[in-house]
């Protein structure tokens, strides 16, 4: 009898393991309030509430607006901060009931503002922070990066200035604690060759590692909280074209995974993993895994799709840590093509997401190029807590959009059971998670397409489903406005009867804050 009950328990456990993802249903909700403005940041609060920060495009004037919503997306308040009308948003984070907001002015000065997010109002005095930019620098040539250590105890804000040819590029930054106090500042130059594949990783003691590639060699610059800067070449990396490197901290070391090809524009046939000592720059625990070897036990179709490795037009999307110390790394094939179109005199231009439509005079016929952006298959690589590749999955899709990127791409969520969920617009003609030739979609107008979700269990099993979006005017933007928030995702959507491109071109887009969560 005892063995009978043990068998029943085992059967139930196995059923739960293999049906956990397929049994999940999703709940979508949206705010009644509309968010107006070109740029939005979504900041989930620890208590379940959600803040949004709306700000102008770089170089434009206009107040910043802070909205707070409860976990049912009821608006708690909306506050316009006119004092920041000439400021450019760079970063924000929480500490208790305070929101620290970091902005740069026209002269490149960085200032920390404190906002009491119970009311959405400024509190205390602005705190100028030094060392990020010089007044003479053109902010259009500057790329800003902001991030934090895994536990949120330390933060960084870094500005990378790209100089004209034959001049050194400059990397400046500051390290801060959780309270937004500046701990150190740093500056260093890189040769006239533009630094590529730039990655920034901050350890739990606040030390920042900046890794970049110059031609084929990688350099690690280590910055401590007391301002010590040391640049080290990474020694011990394998030969070949090593790209799409994902970096994570592991105690006092850095771990990485990357893809390597043996020729220019060739497919990536090998996965490389290893560790780096940030003090010496030496590489250890190096392991190379052939893609076909990793796919040996995969379904036949996936093996066939990966027989030549990852495609050359690959982009590293993101790295998502899991509760057991492992992680998943997501890649996506992508591209862009330019099509030249000739328009008759005085004919109105097709709408562009970057501005209003234009007109031409009868004596001045014009030709304009339209960019088409594509997003193809997604590749999910799982590595265990010891940095060993475990499995690789191919998620099939074929998306294209003209002018800008709004409805194409993917959004991701890891739930409390370490299941990965990948969301994107797709056609119901593609019912399977992996297929050889997925039906393409043209996502300028998502009407007629469905919102799909591919869920992947920790053992690599996949399940695809389509999520019903009852309002046919609901436009999600999974690539540019989708934030993982524990067991739900927060997103921005556009409500319009027009196509998404037409609505954004008209400069009257009203955004809704939404969430998608497991029921």
Q: Helix, strand, or coil here: 356?
A: coil
Domains of the chain, by residue range, sit at 313-519
Task: Quote the CA–CA distance of 337 and 126 in Å, as a whole number.
Answer: 45
Average pLDDT of the chain is 83
Residue 465 token pair: 């489903």
Is the pLDDT assigned to residue 504 strictly greater than 80?
no
Mean pLDDT on 371-386 = 93
190 falls in which pLDDT band (50, 70, 90)?
confident
pLDDT (tens digit, 9 = 90+) per residue, 74-92? 999 999 999 898 888 999 9
How many angstroms separate the Cα of 209 from the Cα of each of 156, 249, 287, 343, 394?
A: 11, 10, 22, 50, 31
Task: Quote the CA–CA distance of 477 and 399 in Å, as a whole number.
Answer: 13
Q: Give kind and range of the element (H or E) at residue 269.
A: none
Task: Quote the CA–CA distance of 362 and 343 in Å, as a whole number.
Answer: 11
134 falls in which pLDDT band (50, 70, 90)?
low
Is the pLDDT assigned to residue 237 strictly greater than 80?
yes
pLDDT value at residue 23: 53
Task: Quote the CA–CA distance of 223 and 347 in Å, as a whole number.
Answer: 56
Picking from 132, 103, 27, 14, the residue whose alpha carbon sits closest to that of residue 413 is 27
| Angle formed at CA 487 by CA 483 and CA 489, multiple of 5 degrees | 25
341 falls in which pLDDT band (50, 70, 90)?
low
φ and ψ of 373, to 5 deg = -100, 135
pTM attached to this predicted model: 0.87
Strand partners, 209: 201, 222
Q: What letter does residue 178 receive in the DSSP assignment? A: T
């Amino acid at each position: 009898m005892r063995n009978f009950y043990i068998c029943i328990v085992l059967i139930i456990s196995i059923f739960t393991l293999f049906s956990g993802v397929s049994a999940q249903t999703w709940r979508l909700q949206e705010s009644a309030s509309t968010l107006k403005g070109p740029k939005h940041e979504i900041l989930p609060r620890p208590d379940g509430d959600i803040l949004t920060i709306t700000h102008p495009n770089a170089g434009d004037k206009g107040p910043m607006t802070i909205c707070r919503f409860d976990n049912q997306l009821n608006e708690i308040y909306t506050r316009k901060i006119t004092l920041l009308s000439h400021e450019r948003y760079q970063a924000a984070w929480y500490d208790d009931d305070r929101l620290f907001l970091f902005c740069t002015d026209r002269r490149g000065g960085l200032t920390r503002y404190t906002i009491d997010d119970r009311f959405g109002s400024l509190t205390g005095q602005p705190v100028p922070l030094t060392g990020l930019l010089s007044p003479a620098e053109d902010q259009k040539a500057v790329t800003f990066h902001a991030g934090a250590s895994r536990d949120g105890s330390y933060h960084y804000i870094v500005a990378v200035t790209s100089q004209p040819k034959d001049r050194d590029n400059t990397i400046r930054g500051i390290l801060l604690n959780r309270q937004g106090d500046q701990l150190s500042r740093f500056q260093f130059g890189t040769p006239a060759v533009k630094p590529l594949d730039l990655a920034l990783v901050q350890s739990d003691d606040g030390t920042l590692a900046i890794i970049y590639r110059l031609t084929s060699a990688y350099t690690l610059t280590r910055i401590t909280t007391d301002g010590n800067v040391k640049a080290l070449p990474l020694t011990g990396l394998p030969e070949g074209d090593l790209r799409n490197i994902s970096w994570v901290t592991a105690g006092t070391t850095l771990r990485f995974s990357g893809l390597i090809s043996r020729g220019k524009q060739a497919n990536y046939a090998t996965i490389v993993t290893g560790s780096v000592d940030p003090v010496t720059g030496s590489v250890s625990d190096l392991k190379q895994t052939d893609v076909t070897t990793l796919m040996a036990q995969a379904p036949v179709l996936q093996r066939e799709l990966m027989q030549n490795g990852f495609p050359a037009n690959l982009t590293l999307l993101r790295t998502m840590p899991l509760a057991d110390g492992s992680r998943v790394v997501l890649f996506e094939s992508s591209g862009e093509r330019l099509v030249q179109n000739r328009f008759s005199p005085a004919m109105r231009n097709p709408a562009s997401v970057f501005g209003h439509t234009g007109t031409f005079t009868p004596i001045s016929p014009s030709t304009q190029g339209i960019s088409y952006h594509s997003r193809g298959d997604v590749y999910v690589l799982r590595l265990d807590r010891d940095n060993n590749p475990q499995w690789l999955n191919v998620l099939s899709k074929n998306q294209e959009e003209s002018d800008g990127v709004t409805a194409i791409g993917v959004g991701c969520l890891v739930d409390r059971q370490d299941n990965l969920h990948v969301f994107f617009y797709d056609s119901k003609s593609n019912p399977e998670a992996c297929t050889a030739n997925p039906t393409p979609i043209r996502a300028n107008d998502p009407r007629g397409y469905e919102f799909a979700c591919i869920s992947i269990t920790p053992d690599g099993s996949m399940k695809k489903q389509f999520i019903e979006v009852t309002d046919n005017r609901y436009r999600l933007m999974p690539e540019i406005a989708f934030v993982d928030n524990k067991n739900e995702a927060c997103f921005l959507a556009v409500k319009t009867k027009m196509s998404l491109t037409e609505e954004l071109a008209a400069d009257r887009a009203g955004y809704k804050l939404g969430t998608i969560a497991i029921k």
